[in-house]
Chains A and B, each alone.
Chain A
Amino acid sequence: MTDAPAVVPPRSRWAWNPFRLARRLPDAGFAYFLLLPAFIFLALFTVKPLIGSLISSTQKRNGDGFTLGNYERLATDEVFLRALGNNLLFSLITVPVSLGLAMLLAVLLHQNVRGRGFLRAGVFAPAILPMVAVAVIWMYFYQPNIGVINSILGAIGLPTPDWLGDPSLVLPSLMVMMIWKEAGFFMLFYLAGLQGIDPELEEASRLEGTGKFRHFWKVSFPLLMPTTLFAAIVALSDSIKMVDFVFVMTQGGPDNASNLLLFYIYKVAFAQHWPQFAAAISLVVVAVLVALALIQIKLMDRKIHYR
């Protein structure tokens, strides 16, 4: 195999050579031939595990027999319902707020302001940090006695709550951190989107005497819709799949107030060694995610101006 294959091998001896055969394929067939390695990996690492989960989710805890008990259990499992509720709240708040903030920052930093490059880099910085690093940093921000936030609040005489130790504050505290991390990331997409908009449109608005806000609302915002759709789907899946900070900061506590779906799945699968039930939860989460993405696409597709 080490001598370069398929350059000009003798016809009769190498007739079976797949590379030779490939050269004679029609274009569509050749395209599939090139996609073959990708398909193999997709089948091996996505399709096969998915089917495996499906089968596993219908088995009992000791691994044999067919049962739908794992799915029935979901309806009554308090921790699952709590994690589901937490996660819905987490997604419903962090996704729109991150995107709104990202759009606002993008519009501001699209203009010619002094130190624009520096500001853009500053806003984008959180997005480059690994989630675990972000979590460790914010854990010290939130530390009740020596943390940055409480030091400032204490200095100006305001109450200093225990951000991660109070069941009613822990989820909002985590949302703030998530928004901080995500907004900079999506700002980058909006900046690219804004740069793709024809500057003549802004010129026209200026000549017509349209206000800046009106121009944004009637021209930029609709033209950014494809970006928004893409960003919304990515943000939604991020809000469900990025749970590293739960491991670092709260372990889902106190009193399950910060338990999120993926963290719970990890707990069930590994700490409780119950992969069958974990598979059932995973499949439900995947189904919900797909459904939400479809709804997003359907709803927003109507309002999108593709060029």
Chain B
Amino acid sequence: MSSPIRKKLLATAGAALAFTVALTGCSTAAPAAPADEEVSIEFYYPDQVGTLGTLIDGYLKEFAAEHPKIKVKGVYSGDYDQTLTAVNTAIDGGKAPALAIMDQTFVLDLVERKAISSWDDYLKDDESKKWLDGFYPQFMKNSIDGDGHVWGVPFARSTIVQYWNKDFFTKAGLDPEHGPATRSELLDSARATQEKGGAKYGLFIPTSTGTAYWLYQALVQQAGGDGAISNADGTKVTLDTPENVKALEFWASLGAEGIAPSTEVAWSTSTDDFLAGQTAMLWTTSGRMGTIQDKASFDWGVSALPKDVAAGAPTGGGSLMLFQEGVSDKQREAAVTLAKFLTTPERAADVSVKSGYIATSDAAWNDPAMVAHVKKFPQAIAAHDAVADAIPEMATVDRDRVVYQTLAPALQSVLLNGADAKEALSKAQAEITKILAEHK
């Protein structure tokens, strides 16, 4: 190669190198050392419904004004599953966020991996005890383990409720002000709305992979079984009882009899289908109430799910959790301060009014803003009523494999492919027992 070309190449490379060095120099010089008494923490928050992110941004601004010494870096982290991924990556990188809102069912896996700290150390004084005792016990069940350690504090909570289209009820000659209260009323209403009311379908119970187990829990509870499905330590599941089989057979019968589609009822689009008048009734999260209120072009009602042998539905939603990896005691204390700030009754009421999540304590329901909201919008009380019979959400160790990879396909094979309910559940029971045995 000729010398002039080499010279040019080398000069370019040298310039590039010099430029890189200059850039690196700038970036390392930038961050200023924080003052001694200041503490800075990271806080990851997901948003499943589209309204929570803005709310939390606002709360963080208020917090900054009230606690100038605590610098909070709020990180929006997608939905619950993406938040878990983000936190896992941060833990592997040696620097977890001090505080994060996580799906309540992630507790067991995170405890097993020693990723989160218990709240026990921060709940010793009376004020803190009062704070924690204020939450509805139904919302604490997924956060307290068999030994009484507290791992999560409820933030955005929900449960399953039924919505109905009053237009279809009126046309079918049913009472539009009251939804079905029992299983037989449920089936009669569904058929009547289809035959006389002109509804294409009577009842949607979403069958998507991500939420099938959740709706199935409600059906098992109503059939008289143990709707929690898993034990408190998440080391054992019960899927092969007659009540479990009965619940799944009932669910499959909806598709077979044309009350619901025999193909997948997608979780994400089922609310749109209800709003478009495709179905007279819909079972879904109370968190969708805000969307339905905004978009429905017809009158609609909402109430707790109808009972069969028993009544009840699982809770769902997020908890505030304290992480360990790379977090100092001082940072953890700051995180606890932030958590208490985010869960005061006034803010719980504000979250509920603006997003549709269920206010987490009696104090929040009695908050003036909440009382005014219920007066203006009486349907909101349905979520409160549903909490009375709420059961814990199914949670096990190795949850993704147990719930999404094993249970969901088993349910779908019966609902969509016509497999035998008893066989599918026994097979899932055996597979899950095997997975859980790896964790003993």
Interface residues of A (CB under 8 A from B): 1-2, 4-7, 19, 22-23, 27, 30, 34, 61, 79, 143-146, 161-162, 164-167, 251-256, 267, 270-273
Which residues of chain B are near A256, meaning CB under 8 Å?
409
Which residues of chain B are near A254, meaning CB under 8 Å?
207-209, 263-264, 412, 416
The CA-CA distance from A272 to B10 in the complex, in Å, is 49
Interchain CB contact under 8 A, A273 and B209: no
| Least distance between B89 CB and chain A CB atoms (Å) | 8
Which residues of chain A are near B273, meaning CB under 8 Å?
145
Which residues of chain A are near B84, meaning CB under 8 Å?
270-271
Interchain CB contact under 8 A, B261 and A4: no
Interface residues of B toward A: which range? Answer: 35 or more
Interchain CB contact under 8 A, B9 and A34: yes
Interchain CB contact under 8 A, A255 and B261: no
Interface residues of B (CB under 8 A from A): 1, 3, 6-7, 9-11, 13-15, 17-18, 21-22, 81, 84-85, 88-89, 109, 113, 207-210, 261, 263-266, 269, 273, 276, 278, 398, 400-401, 404-405, 408-409, 412-413, 416-417, 438
The CA-CA distance from A169 to B9 in the complex, in Å, is 57
The CA-CA distance from A2 to B89 in the complex, in Å, is 38
Interchain CB contact under 8 A, A22 and B269: no
The CA-CA distance from A273 to B114 in the complex, in Å, is 13
Main secondary structure of the interface of B (DSSP, over half): helix
Give 30 pairs: A residue, B residue, CB < 8 Å, sorted on A. Answer: A1-B17, A2-B18, A4-B14, A5-B14, A6-B11, A19-B10, A19-B13, A22-B10, A23-B6, A23-B7, A144-B261, A144-B263, A162-B261, A162-B264, A165-B261, A165-B263, A165-B266, A166-B263, A166-B264, A167-B416, A253-B264, A253-B408, A253-B409, A254-B207, A254-B264, A256-B409, A271-B400, A272-B398, A272-B401, A273-B109
Interchain CB contact under 8 A, B278 and A252: no
| Least distance between A129 CB and chain B CB atoms (Å) | 22
Q: How many A-B residue pairs have CB under 8 A?
A: 101
Which residues of chain A are near B109, meaning CB under 8 Å?
273
Interchain CB contact under 8 A, A146 and B276: yes
| Least distance between B5 CB and chain A CB atoms (Å) | 10
Say whether, besides A165-B261, A255-B416, A4 and B6 are in contact (CB < 8 Å). no
The CA-CA distance from A72 to B209 in the complex, in Å, is 27
The closest CB in chain B to the CB of A78 belongs to B431
Interchain CB contact under 8 A, B7 and A255: no
Cβ-neighbour of A27 out of B1, B9, B207 (below 8 A): B1
Cβ-neighbour of A270 out of B88, B401, B409 (below 8 A): B88
| Least distance between B261 CB and chain A CB atoms (Å) | 6
| Least distance between A49 CB and chain B CB atoms (Å) | 14
Which residues of chain A are near B417, meaning CB under 8 Å?
167, 255
Say whether, besides A255-B417, A273-B113, A1 and B21 are in contact (CB < 8 Å). yes
Cβ-neighbour of B209 out of A144, A252, A272 (below 8 A): A252
| Least distance between A33 CB and chain B CB atoms (Å) | 9
The closest CB in chain A to the CB of B11 belongs to A4
